[in-house]
Amino acid sequence: MPIWLYELSPFRQALVIIAFVEFISIAGLLLARRYVVPRFHYSEGINDAVSGTVQAIGVFYGITVGLIAVGVWNTNSSASDLVSREAASIATVFRDTGGYPSPLREELRAGLRDYTLFIINEAWPAQQKGKEVERGRTLMDDFQAKLYSFSPSNPSQVALHTETLRAYNNLIDYRRLRIDAVNNSGLSETMWVVIWMGAAISIGVAYFYKIGDPKLHIVLVVLMSGFLAVVLFMITINDKPFYGTVGISSDPYKIILERLIDVSK
């Protein structure tokens, strides 16, 4: 799907997809009734044959689209879970740094605050356009250099430093998984071709019903294509979890910033 579609609000996305599918479906029906259907010799009971074909294709297409819809929903849920885990890791590291001596404690906490602000104000807007901002890596490298420079002088500091390093490594892992999810999320072009070809075939078969009243035929096709358009909208809105206005929000990071980091200043 084109990237600009994800930048629209959900309502506008739905309107665009439904209008596009309905327009193509009705245009195809009118062309088929005028140029294709008259070339065939219809006999009694042809509607039963067409109906059986529609049902058979509908079952297989429904199963295929249903599995795809479940897949993109799971992808969306997993991405949301990654965001929550990274935010929680920031909170864990921030709390652990409270046991470090001054001024290292203040430097580490300032670095975490800068990273959290970077995610909210820079990384997230870029993600919504499918881009990555390199400054996040620099912020993490600076934080890591300060953290690794600490030399524990007693058993309690050794335990604290070990736990902080473990929490920091978890944070780095979740950060990398989030970035990978941004870069690799979304159905492949092959899957979209299958979805759109299946929709075209499902609707196209209905063109061959023998219905004398063209208005009734249009109504039937509009209902079929409208339902398919709604399913396509559902897949689209969950396909790229970080893209556009309907993507996953940065609220978990904002909560950590407001309720933990800024409160501790």
Give the span between the Cα atoms of 63 and 84, in whole angstroms: 32
Query: Which residue bears the tokens 């007693």?
Result: 154
Mean pLDDT rounded to a whole number for the chain: 89
Q: Give 40-74 pLDDT, tens digit per residue.
A: 888 777 888 888 888 888 888 888 888 888 888 88
pLDDT interval class at 97 (50, 70, 90): very high
Name the token pair of 69.
């819809």
List of residues 6+ apart from 162 with CB closer than 8 A: none
Give the span between the Cα atoms of 29 and 217, in whole angstroms: 8
pLDDT interval class at 264 (50, 70, 90): low
Q: Lowest-pLDDT range, 20-29, 137-146, 181-190?
A: 181-190
* b/e per residue 99-130 (b: at least 16 CB within 10 A): ebeeeeeebbbbbbbebbbbbbeebbeebbeb
Q: Are 140 and 172 in contact (CB under 8 A)?
A: yes
Q: Give 126-157 pLDDT, tens digit per residue.
A: 888 877 788 889 999 999 999 999 988 889 99
Q: Are 182 and 130 in contact (CB under 8 A)?
A: yes
45 φψ region: left (φ > 0), alpha (ψ -120 to 50), beta (else)? left
Instruction: Tell me the residue type at 159.
Output: A
Percent of the residues in the chain that have a pLDDT greater than 70, as a whole number: 98
Query: Which residue bears the tokens 């074909």?
Result: 53
Neighbours of 193 (CB within 10 A): 11
Give the span between the Cα atoms of 3 and 18, in whole angstroms: 17
Instruction: Tell me the residue type at 236.
Output: T
Q: How many structural domains is the chain composed of?
A: 1
Give me the pLDDT at residue 188, please: 83
pLDDT interval class at 265 (50, 70, 90): low
Query: 39: domain range?
Result: 3-261
Instruction: Tell me the residue type at 253.
Output: Y
Single out the residue of 55, 116, 62 nearest to residue 89, CA to CA. Answer: 116
Give the span between the Cα atoms of 78 and 113, in whole angstroms: 25
Q: Are 250 and 125 in contact (CB under 8 A)?
A: no
More confident: 233 or 134? 233
Task: Give the distance from CA 79 to its chain's centroid.
Answer: 8
